[in-house]
Structure 1
Amino acid sequence: MKIEIWSDVMCPFCYIGKNNFEQALQKLPFKDQVEVEWKSFQLDPTLNTGETKNTLTYFREKKGFPEAQATQMISQVTQIGKGAGIDFNFETALITNTFPAHKLLHLSKKYNKSNEMEEALFIAHFIDGKNVGDVDTLAEIAESLGIDKEEAKHAVTSEELTSEVNEDIQQARNNGITGVPFFVLNGKYAVSGAQPVEVFENALQQTYKETVSPFTDLSNGENVCGPDGCSI
């Protein structure tokens, strides 16, 4: 069963959704049959890759929120994060253009490490206060996952992976996806937002039952013949 997840590195609800989704998946007997593909989405592509802002300044300057409202929003998300096992550090989080980080995510797919990369990027941004738009920072993150630093730098600075990131973003538009996280379950169902663990668990079970598991026999199994004979 394939799960496609559209996400952006600087989206706190994407990090919360990832944790809740993974908690739900671990409860299910078919967890080893689930393939997860991370897809790129940019919340604010207008940001300058060479510039960073702290979260409060970003909400005030780019979104037009009064400081009190922005502070309250950050506090609320912090509390929701704690419920998902995440200690957000918004005071040091650096808002920047995440396109380079998405390139690195696509490079990690080559090594089957996209889930690890997504987690590492979330930690770098939300916990460690690192600049996920910086080439050297991204190369260090790649190296921590066993990916060559020079290859990572090339991937981030060249145009080789630009089309792959843009394809994800265009696919989101084509599917009417306007917010993240957005989970597509085996091409049949969708879950939008950082839903509770129970919602993900139920959605995964329903999707598996309808698209993967064998037919459910609603009869009593009588009057059939098989290799070992017939039952009456």
Structure 2
Amino acid sequence: MKVEIWSDVVCPFCYIGKRRFEDGLRQFGHPEAVEVVWRSFELTPDFRPVPGQSIHESLAAKKGISPAEGRRMNDHMAGIAKEVGLAYDFEHTVPANTFLAHQLVHLGAHHGRQDATKERLMAAYYTQGRDLNDVETLVALGTEVGLDAAETRQALAAGTYAEAVRYDEYQAQQIGVQGVPFFVFEDKYAVSGAQPAELFAEVMGKVWDEAQAAKPQLVAVAGQADGPICGPDGCD
């Protein structure tokens, strides 16, 4: 079963949704049968970080509210994150443009480390105050999940995976994604938002049951004895 997840590294509900989905995956009876594919989505692709600006001030400028109201909103979000075991540290969060970070996730996918790369970036941004605008920071984070530093630096400099990011975003437009996180199960069912774990488990169960029901059912011919066959241990 393939599950595609459109998200942004700096989307607070995307990290919360990741945890809830993971909880749902544990509740689902066949987690080993699920392939998770992370898709890129930039909430503010034209964002330009302002040196020294806090995340509270950045949110306030984006929404046209006061920095105090921005802080209040972030405090509320931190409370929601805590419910799923995430310790958001907004006092040290560095506002970032995520185009390069999304390219790093694609590089991670190329080496079979996509989920680990996604997790590392989200943790770095929300809980450790790492600057995702900085290429060397991204290189260091990549090496922590097993990526080669020289290859990572070269790929980010050359934009090797830039087109892959843009294609993910094009796909999001085609299927009408208005916000993230956005989950698509087997190109058939969609779930929008950081829904409860139980809902994710329910959807995966439904997809699984439908797939099993669609498998060809073999019916033995009545009254016929088994004929001679060959197997791994030889022929009868």
Identify whether the pair has TM-score above 0.5, normalized to the shorter chain. yes
Paired with 2:220 and 2:48, the residues of 1 have a C-alpha distance of 67
Q: What displacement does 1:50 show?
A: 8.2
Query: Could you tell me which amino acid in structure 2 is paired with residue 129 of structure 1?
Result: G
Q: What displacement does 1:52 show?
A: 6.6
Paired with 2:63 and 2:162, the residues of 1 have a C-alpha distance of 27
For the aligned residue pairs, the C-alpha RMSD in angstroms reads 2.0
1:174-193 to 2 correspondence within 5 Å?
Answer: 174-193=174-193
Paired with 1:124 and 1:116, the residues of 2 have a C-alpha distance of 12
Equivalent residue for 1:17? 17
Paired with 1:115 and 1:227, the residues of 2 have a C-alpha distance of 47
1:42-81 to 2 correspondence within 5 Å?
Answer: 42-48=42-48, 53-81=53-81
Q: How many aligned positions are there?
A: 223
Q: CA 1:189–1:53 in structure 2 vs 1: closer, same or farther (change >3 Å)? A: farther
Is residue 226 of structure 1 aligned with residue 214 of structure 2? no
Paired with 1:43 and 1:138, the residues of 2 have a C-alpha distance of 19
Paired with 1:226 and 1:198, the residues of 2 have a C-alpha distance of 39
Q: What displacement does 1:48 show?
A: 2.4
Paired with 2:68 and 2:163, the residues of 1 have a C-alpha distance of 40
1:18-167 to 2 correspondence within 5 Å?
Answer: 18-48=18-48, 53-167=53-167
Decide whether the 8 Å contact of 1:53 with 1:96 is kept in 2. no
Paired with 1:215 and 1:171, the residues of 2 have a C-alpha distance of 27
Q: What displacement does 1:95 show?
A: 0.9
Q: For 1:111-154, what per-residue CA distance to the aligned partner results, in whole angstroms no more than 9, with x for missing partners?
A: 11100111000011000100112110000011111111011111
Equivalent residue for 1:214? 213
Decide whether the 8 Å contact of 1:52 with 1:95 is kept in 2. no
Instruction: Report SS of the residue matched to 1:62.
Output: helix
Q: TM-score when scaled to structure 1? A: 0.90
Q: What displacement does 1:47 show?
A: 1.5
Query: Which structure would you say has the larger Rg?
Result: 2
Query: Could you tell me which amino acid in structure 1 is paired with residue 64 of structure 2?
Result: G
Query: Could you tell me which amino acid in structure 2 is paired with residue 207 of structure 1?
Result: V
Instruction: Report SS of the residue matched to 2:179.
Output: coil
Q: CA 1:52–1:14 in structure 2 vs 1: closer, same or farther (change >3 Å)? A: farther
Instruction: Report SS of the residue matched to 1:95.
Output: coil
Gaps of 5+ in 1: 217-223
Q: What displacement does 1:73 show?
A: 1.3
Paired with 2:214 and 2:167, the residues of 1 have a C-alpha distance of 35
